């Protein structure tokens, strides 16, 4: 709600903050080197609160673990907001100076008392209160989150509920205070920066704003559609309705990474033409009409990526790609040539210079500076601009620069898929330390930690079901079933189970997950499916 999507602080600031709310993130395993900065903060005396349904290896480092029920994040956030207001700990000065909509927010959170929040989230009221007070009273405080917030059908509302807390306390726009989503893939930030979003051109410039779009039209000598395109979810729905007939997939494996695998496969099969550009013959590539073998971007080509602290960093070619595999730029240019546009094949630096020409937030980032300064954080407006170490400092300038930031009151919505007598257990998904997504990359090395896929369940549920560690069980959701071995995890509370997407060839976890997506962000609710467990021997 601040205009551009990116973490507001630098990693070095994490080490010097006083309170960290790690919300829906097991950074110890999923972002291990970010967690090194968190550990430095802890050793420097910072308090860590871990808000997560699972008592993860990150939560074990926390001063307090708030083990909430899946899908009750907004209840918890609103209760924290209410408690801060009730205790008179809101930052009045900042609210009046830099925000709008506070009164509506106060009214919206009024019903979220500590007692009702305890009832709905399962977190003891005193723990909610302690976190609210610590966060509000801290000189510096940060909220850091990952997919525990965003892989829900109401993902955007979840994020807004956290932003409201930062606005309420003034913990944004200052050194070591802010809001930091940790990016899950090495260039998911950079992809967004470069306009790989349905409504954005490079530099987060909105495609529906005429003056912004026309700048690109002039530079490129072509008209650009004036309306936003589809997000990922809408694209898959358009396949269903026959509105999308050709799909060009670059470096994704949707057959295994999308929720509800059977449905995804059916939709891809219905296409007239599926093109896949990848370094592997993935499950998706195996379905393709045409496969373009590409080079591995991070070590076989030159270019840039952007990390979770908005740092644009150079990637460099260290090895030659295998025979037949080509740089993504070469493939796209060759495709353009076959379509009748003979672009002179540019190198990565000249493409980057074009980005700098068109995107004001990247204008000052020459390759020479990126080399010399080990990357630069956007926005960086000109050659002498240092880049912004933390965002939104304008909110603290007097008078305020630009419009104030708005509170967005949000109501809680429980997960789409309710627990029923037929499917009484909650399944949530996530990553483990040594593996990654659908395993096409991490499966390439031999990890001594790797134990293969398992259904992790609480000791209580294991006892109730009469299942033992290592036993193979059938796990069913309304969409399908898989067989998988059981692992008992003390960090899970009764009723909660956990799987990863890492070993899809052996255990197709995403057969179970639900394709219920957030209409605002297009993210699927990987974090909340309903399942039942059956013993194989008992049939």
Partner 1 sequence: MSEQDSLWFKSPPPPHHPPEPPVRKAPEMVAITIDGAEVRIPATATILEACRSVGIDTPTLCFLENLTPVNVCRICVVELAGARTLVPACSRQIEPGMDIRTDSPRVRLARKMVIEFLASSVDLSTAPQALEYARRYGADSTRYGTSRESDTSHDRDTRLPGHHHVPEGIGAETVEQPVKVDNDLYVRDYGKCILCYKCVEACGEDAQNTFAIAVAGRGFDARISTEANVSLPDSACVYCGNCIGVCPTGALMFRSEYEMRQAGIWNESKQTSTDTICSYCGVGCTLTLHVQDNRIVKVTSPIESSVTNGHLCIKGRFGFEYVHGGLDQQADG
Window 201-260: residues binding partner 1 (CB under 8 A): 204-206, 208-209
**Number of residues near partner 1 (by CB under 8 A):** 86
CB distance 2 to 392 below 8 Å: yes
Tokens 């790690």 appear where? Answer: 22
- Positions in 263-322 near partner 1 (CB under 8 A): 279-280, 296-300, 305-309, 311, 313-320, 322
| Closest CB to partner 1 among residues 108, 207 | 207
Tokens, residue 177: 């205070």
| Closest CB to partner 1 among residues 92, 316 | 316
| Closest CB to partner 1 among residues 169, 306 | 306
**Sole window of 218-226, 260-268, 433-441, 484-492 interacting with partner 1 (rule: CB under 8 A):** 433-441
The residue from 221, 446, 490, 539 that contacts partner 1 (CB under 8 A) is: 446
| C-beta pairs of 37-44 under 8 Å, 24+ apart in sequence | 37/11, 37/12, 38/14, 38/144, 40/14, 40/15, 41/14, 41/15, 41/16, 41/17, 44/15, 44/16
Is 393 an interacting residue with respect to partner 1 (CB under 8 A)? yes
3 state SS of 49: strand
| Closest CB to partner 1 among residues 319, 344 | 319
Is 184 an interacting residue with respect to partner 1 (CB under 8 A)? yes
Over the range 127-157, which residues count as b (16 or more CB within 10 Å of their CB) and which as e?
A: bbbbbbebbbebebbbbbbbbbbbbbbbbbb
Is 137 an interacting residue with respect to partner 1 (CB under 8 A)? no
Is 445 an interacting residue with respect to partner 1 (CB under 8 A)? yes
Is 523 an interacting residue with respect to partner 1 (CB under 8 A)? no
The residue from 107, 185, 246, 464 that contacts partner 1 (CB under 8 A) is: 185
**Sole window of 213-221, 265-273, 416-424, 444-452 interacting with partner 1 (rule: CB under 8 A):** 444-452
The residue from 89, 330, 389, 416 that contacts partner 1 (CB under 8 A) is: 389
| Least distance (Å) between residue 248 CB and partner 1 | 21
| Nearest-angstrom CA–CA distance, 476 and 144 | 33
| Least distance (Å) between residue 445 CB and partner 1 | 4
Distance of CA 143 to the CA centre of its chain: 14
| Closest CB to partner 1 among residues 310, 527 | 310
| Least distance (Å) between residue 52 CB and partner 1 | 17
Instruction: Give the Cβ contact number of residue 490 at 10 Å.
Output: 8
| Least distance (Å) between residue 534 CB and partner 1 | 33
- Positions in 1-20 near partner 1 (CB under 8 A): 1-4, 10-13
How many Cα atoms within 13 Å fall on the side-chain side of residue 71?
20
Hey, which residues does 406 pair with through a beta bridge?
A: 100
| Closest CB to partner 1 among residues 119, 316 | 316
- Positions in 139-178 near partner 1 (CB under 8 A): 173, 175
36 Cβ contact partners less than 8 Å away, ≥ 6 residues apart: none
Q: What length does the chain have? A: 539
Is 60 an interacting residue with respect to partner 1 (CB under 8 A)? no
* DSSP-based helix, strand, coil % in the chain, nearest 5: 35, 20, 45
**Angle between helix 114-121 and 125-137 (nearest 10):** 120
Is 429 an interacting residue with respect to partner 1 (CB under 8 A)? no
Is 349 an interacting residue with respect to partner 1 (CB under 8 A)? no
| C-beta pairs of 337-344 under 8 Å, 24+ apart in sequence | none
Tokens, residue 214: 């026309």
| Nearest-angstrom CA–CA distance, 68 and 57 | 16
520 Cβ contact partners less than 8 Å away, ≥ 6 residues apart: 155, 156, 157
| Least distance (Å) between residue 279 CB and partner 1 | 7
| Closest CB to partner 1 among residues 147, 512 | 147
Is 39 an interacting residue with respect to partner 1 (CB under 8 A)? yes
The residue from 14, 50, 141, 361 that contacts partner 1 (CB under 8 A) is: 361
Query: What letter does residue 294 receive in the DSSP assignment?
Result: B
**Sole window of 334-342, 413-421, 430-438, 490-498 interacting with partner 1 (rule: CB under 8 A):** 430-438
The residue from 401, 472, 536, 538 that contacts partner 1 (CB under 8 A) is: 401
Q: Based on the number of CB atoms within 10 Å of its own CB, is 178 exposed (0-12), middle (13-18) or buried (19 or more)?
A: buried
| Least distance (Å) between residue 220 CB and partner 1 | 21
- Positions in 87-126 near partner 1 (CB under 8 A): none
The residue from 36, 133, 369, 493 that contacts partner 1 (CB under 8 A) is: 36
| Least distance (Å) between residue 143 CB and partner 1 | 17
| Least distance (Å) between residue 281 CB and partner 1 | 12
Nearest to 258 by CA among 537, 527, 526: 526
């Amino acid at each position: 709600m601040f205009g551009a999507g990116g973490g507001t602080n630098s990693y070095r600031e994490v080490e010097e903050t006083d309170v960290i709310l790690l919300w829906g993130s097991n950074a110890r395993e999923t972002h291990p080197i970010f967690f090194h900065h968190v550990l430095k903060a802890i050793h420097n005396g910072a308090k860590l609160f871990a808000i997560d349904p699972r008592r993860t290896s990150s939560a074990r480092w926390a001063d307090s673990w708030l083990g909430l029920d899946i899908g009750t994040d907004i209840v918890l956030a609103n209760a924290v907001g209410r408690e801060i207001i009730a205790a008179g700990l809101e930052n009045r000065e900042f609210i009046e100076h830099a925000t709008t909509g506070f009164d509506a927010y106060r009214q919206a959170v009024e019903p979220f008392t500590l007692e009702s929040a305890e009832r709905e989230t399962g977190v003891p009221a005193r723990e909610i209160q302690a976190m609210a007070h610590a966060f509000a009273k801290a000189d510096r405080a940060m909220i850091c989150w990952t997919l525990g917030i965003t892989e829900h059908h109401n993902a955007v509302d979840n994020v807004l509920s956290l932003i409201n807390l930062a606005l309420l306390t003034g913990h944004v726009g200052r050194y070591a205070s802010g809001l930091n989503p940790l990016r899950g893939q090495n260039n998911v930030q950079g992809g967004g920066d470069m306009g790989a979003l349905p409504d954005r051109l490079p530099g987060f410039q909105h495609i529906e704003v005429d003056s912004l779009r026309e700048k690109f039209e002039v530079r490129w000598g072509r008209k650009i559609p004036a309306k936003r395109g589809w997000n990922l979810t809408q694209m898959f729905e358009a396949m269903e309705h026959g509105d999308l007939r050709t799909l060009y997939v670059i470096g994704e494996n949707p057959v295994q990474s999308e929720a509800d695998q059977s449905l995804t496969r059916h939709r891809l099969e219905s296409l007239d033409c599926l093109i896949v550009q990848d370094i592997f013959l993935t499950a998706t590539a195996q379905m393709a009409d045409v496969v373009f073998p590409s080079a591995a971007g991070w070590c076989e080509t030159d270019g840039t990526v952007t990390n979770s602290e908005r740092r644009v960093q150079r990637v460099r070619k260290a090895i030659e790609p295998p025979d037949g595999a080509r740089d993504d730029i070469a493939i796209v240019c060759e495709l353009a040539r076959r379509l009748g546009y003979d672009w002179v094949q540019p190198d990565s630096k000249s493409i980057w210079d074009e980005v700098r020409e068109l995107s004001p937030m990247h204008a000052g980032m020459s390759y020479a500076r990126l080399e010399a300064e080990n990357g630069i954080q956007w926005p960086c407006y000109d050659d002498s601009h240092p880049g912004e170490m933390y965002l939104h400092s304008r909110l603290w300038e007097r008078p305020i620069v630009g419009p104030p930031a708005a509170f967005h009151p949000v109501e809680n919505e429980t997960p789409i898929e309710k627990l029923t007598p037929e499917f009484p257990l909650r399944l949530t998904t996530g990553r483990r330390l040594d593996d990654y997504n659908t395993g096409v990359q991490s499966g390439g090395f031999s990890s001594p930690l790797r134990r293969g896929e398992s259904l992790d369940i609480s000791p209580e549920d294991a006892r109730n079901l009469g299942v033992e560690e290592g036993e193979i069980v059938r796990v069913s959701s309304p969409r399908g079933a898989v067989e998988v071995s059981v692992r008992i995890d003390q960090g899970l509370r009764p009723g909660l189970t956990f799987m990863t997407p890492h070993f899809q060839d052996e255990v197709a976890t995403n057969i179970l997950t639900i394709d219920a997506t957030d209409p605002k962000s297009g993210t699927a609710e990987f974090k909340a499916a309903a399942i039942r467990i059956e013993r194989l021997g008992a049939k």
